[in-house]
Structure 1
Amino acid sequence: MSLIIGIDPGSRMTGYGIIEKDGQKLRFVDAGTIKTETTAMPERLKRIFAGVDRIVRFHGPVEAAVEQVFMAQNPDSALKLGQARGAAIAALVNLDLQVAEYTARQIKQSVVGYGAADKEQVQMMVMKLLNLSICPQADAADALAAAICHAHASGSMSKMAVLNALGGMARGRSRYSSRRR
């Protein structure tokens, strides 16, 4: 059983979502947004860092997933988004969490099954996968989707590691048994 935090970075509003993974089961723990409510970028970054730090210290997740920056049309917007993402990642690694990064397309593919899904589709699938009775705010839903994507990816990686280990053991036995003959 492990807690996973997902982060959907934004310079004005950063979404976060925390889920619990127990085998194949996923359970909602918490979600929301960190609102910066200021125009000064250094102050926004400080609030994002402090907000992520506070949430991680409160819930104690052991894994983290952050959405990667996409190339926006406006270079200034992309720069601000990258800075917000950096503040969130810095807060996570400052608390010794390893951070997995996923593109928006990977997250949507994992949660909806379609890499170009819109925000409403992501929200609806997050509700369904986590058995929520109310629809989370869009940024919080995106963060929950990042956590779900990581839960699926880490489960696949664990299965692959086990299969690789078993494959190596099987190859080792077949070589051993052929030498005995």
Structure 2
Amino acid sequence: MIILGLDPSLTCTGWGVIRVEGSRLSHIANGQIKTNAKTPMAERLAVLLNGIAEVIAAHGPDRAACEEVFVNENAKSTLKLAQARGAVLSACGAAGLTVNEHAARLVKKATVGTGAADKAQVAAMIKVLLPGVQLAGSDAADALAVAIADAHLSPRS
């Protein structure tokens, strides 16, 4: 099974693709899709949608996994995150992928062992779980963590 993990953000959406064979995990690819803050919102969302559509076309995942939305103290930031998630999830839906959603604390607990892990701890554990992986950045590491958590938390299908 091939799982696409997603860490949506309007500024930089991370993605990671892993293969799951029994209890064995292997890295396929990872990356980040960045948008320009000076570009109109509709264009930024189109960049995310098209970028994820390209990842799906290139790697043919069987399903996707995404971090659940969390509410920031800043309502404007929460709204921007929700819009980015909408673009990313739309790309998955258009490709016919099932998308499992997981809370960020659960993803961290499943990969690092503590729900309070920081980005550096997540990246370090990804390098342990996927030996030889070259991370495109911290958002890509987070996306791989989502994929790994999904492999452990969701039923195989």
**What is the TM-score of this pair, normalised by structure 2?**
0.95
Q: Tell me the CA shift for residue 134 of structure 1.
A: 4.1
Give the match for residue 86 of structure 2: 86
Give the match for residue 35 of structure 1: 34
Number of corresponding residues? 155
Segments of 4+ moved more than 2 angstroms: 132-136
Give the match for residue 124 of structure 2: 124
Unpaired segments of 5 or more residues in structure 2? none
**Aligned residue runs from structure 1 range 160-175, under 5 A:** none
**Aligned residue runs from structure 1 range 23-172, under 5 A:** 23-39=22-38, 40-132=40-132, 134-154=134-154, 157=155
Supply the AA of the counterpart residue of 1:72: N
In 1: Cα distance, 2:135 partner to 2:88 partner: 24
In 2: Cα distance, 1:132 partner to 1:139 partner: 18
In 2: Cα distance, 1:141 partner to 1:65 partner: 14
37-46 or 13-22, which deviates more: 37-46
State, as a whole percentage, how many aligned pairs show the same letter: 44
Task: Give the 3-state SS of the residue equivalent to 2:16 in structure 1.
Answer: strand
> Is 1:18–1:29's contact at 8 Å kept on the other side of the alignment?
yes
Greater share of helix: 1
Supply the AA of the counterpart residue of 1:140: A
> Is 1:124–1:135's contact at 8 Å kept on the other side of the alignment?
no
Task: Give the 3-state SS of the residue equivalent to 1:140 in structure 2.
Answer: helix
CA deviations on 1:142-178 (whole Å, 9 max, x unpaired) are 0000000000113xx35xxxxxxxxxxxxxxxxxxxx
Task: Give the 3-state SS of the residue equivalent to 2:45 in structure 1.
Answer: helix
In 1: Cα distance, 2:90 partner to 2:135 partner: 29
**What is the TM-score of this pair, normalised by structure 1?**
0.83
Unpaired segments of 5 or more residues in structure 1? 159-181
Q: Tell me the CA shift for residue 132 of structure 1.
A: 2.5
Q: Tell me the CA shift for residue 12 of structure 1.
A: 1.0
Task: Give the 3-state SS of the residue equivalent to 1:152 in structure 2.
Answer: helix
Q: Tell me the CA shift for residue 70 of structure 1.
A: 1.0
Q: Tell me the CA shift for residue 36 of structure 1.
A: 1.3
Q: Tell me the CA shift for residue 78 of structure 1.
A: 0.5
Task: Give the 3-state SS of the residue equivalent to 1:108 in structure 2.
Answer: helix
In 1: Cα distance, 2:31 partner to 2:131 partner: 17
Q: Tell me the CA shift for residue 5 of structure 1.
A: 0.2
In the alignment, structure 1 residue 14 sits paired with structure 2 residue 13: yes
Indicate the RMSD between aligned Cα atoms, in angstroms. Answer: 1.2
